[in-house]
Amino acid sequence: MIIAERKPFAQIKEMLAPYQRICVLGCGTCVTVCMAGGQKEAEELAALIRIQRKQDRQEATVEAFTIERQCEFEFIDQVLERLKGYDAILSLACGIGVQTLVEHVPALRVMPGLNTKFMGYPVAQGVWVERCLGCGDCVLHLTEGICPITRCAKSLLNGPCGGSAEGKCEVSKELDCAWHLIHDRLASLGRLSLMAEIQPPKDWSSSHHGGPRTIVREDVKLDRGE
């Protein structure tokens, strides 16, 4: 899922300074699960903004509510009229939610309340790690389920560099060397010979390097006249 983190309050305060009627809009999917932008966080942040405005003697109406997904038009449509009643919407969705809102309803002023961090999962309560860069050309079958593109600090495709020591990456002793993990996993599965194959340069055009990516599936499109 998408993992995000709330922006520093000072930055939020500055973004919202010109506005009086403010909506803190939570999102019910990824950011709810990673405890950054669900209903609870939206309410807490709204309360914080109200206190700050009161302390600073700046008038404001601050409300909080949440929609199921900010990244789909139909969920936005359900609250469209309500949204139009605010001067500013502080979106607690990922960057996709913010942009979907603006694209769908250009009249809205939408500010990001979160910093969208990565695609990952929680390894423990309160700890999230990145596991996919969305490179567009998955290689997990070659590495038995451990992504070197994401987890190796150099995105190497042909084994660990000379900076791998005692299972850790040269970048940080906190960071596992992805290729050490892959090596051990391949060894345990009797597939170590895979490491000897020279993997050719990756085609990064399937990644962000080709510009924003689009998928069109004719089989599920609605405009086929059916």
Partner 1 sequence: MIAGSRLEKVLASGQFAVTAELGPPKSGDITQLKHHAEALRNHVEAFNITDNQTAIVRTSSIACGAALIQMGLEPVIQMTVRDRNRIALQSDLLGAVALGMKNVLCLSGDHQKFGNEPGAKGVFDIDSMQLIKALKDMRDEGKFIGGESLEHPLEKIFIGAVANPFADPFEYRVDRLEKKINAGASFIQTQCIFDLERFKKWMEMVRERGLHKKVYIMGGVTPIKSLGAARYMKNNVSGIIIPDELITRLQGAKDKKEEGLKICIETIQQLKEIEGVAGVHIMAIAWEEIVPEIVERAGLYPRPAV
CB 90, min distance to partner 1, A: 28
Nearer to partner 1, 72 or 184 (CB): 184
Dihedral over alpha carbons 136, 142, 146, 151 (to 10 degrees): -60
CB 37, min distance to partner 1, A: 27
Residues that bind partner 1 (CB under 8 A): 153-168, 170-171, 177, 180, 183-184, 192, 195-196, 198-202, 204
Structure tokens at 38: 């669900």
CB 15, min distance to partner 1, A: 23
Nearer to partner 1, 201 or 225 (CB): 201
CB 170, min distance to partner 1, A: 4
**Amino acid at the residue 33:** V
Maximum Cα–Cα distance for the chain, whole Å?
69
User: Do 116 and 7 form a contact (C-beta atoms < 8 A)?
Assistant: no
Nearer to partner 1, 126 or 201 (CB): 201
3-state secondary structure of 63: strand
State the helix-helix crossing angle for 39-55 and 9-16, rounded to 10 degrees. 70
Instruction: Provide the CB-side half-sphere exposure for 203 (13 A, CA).
Output: 5
Nearer to partner 1, 39 or 206 (CB): 206
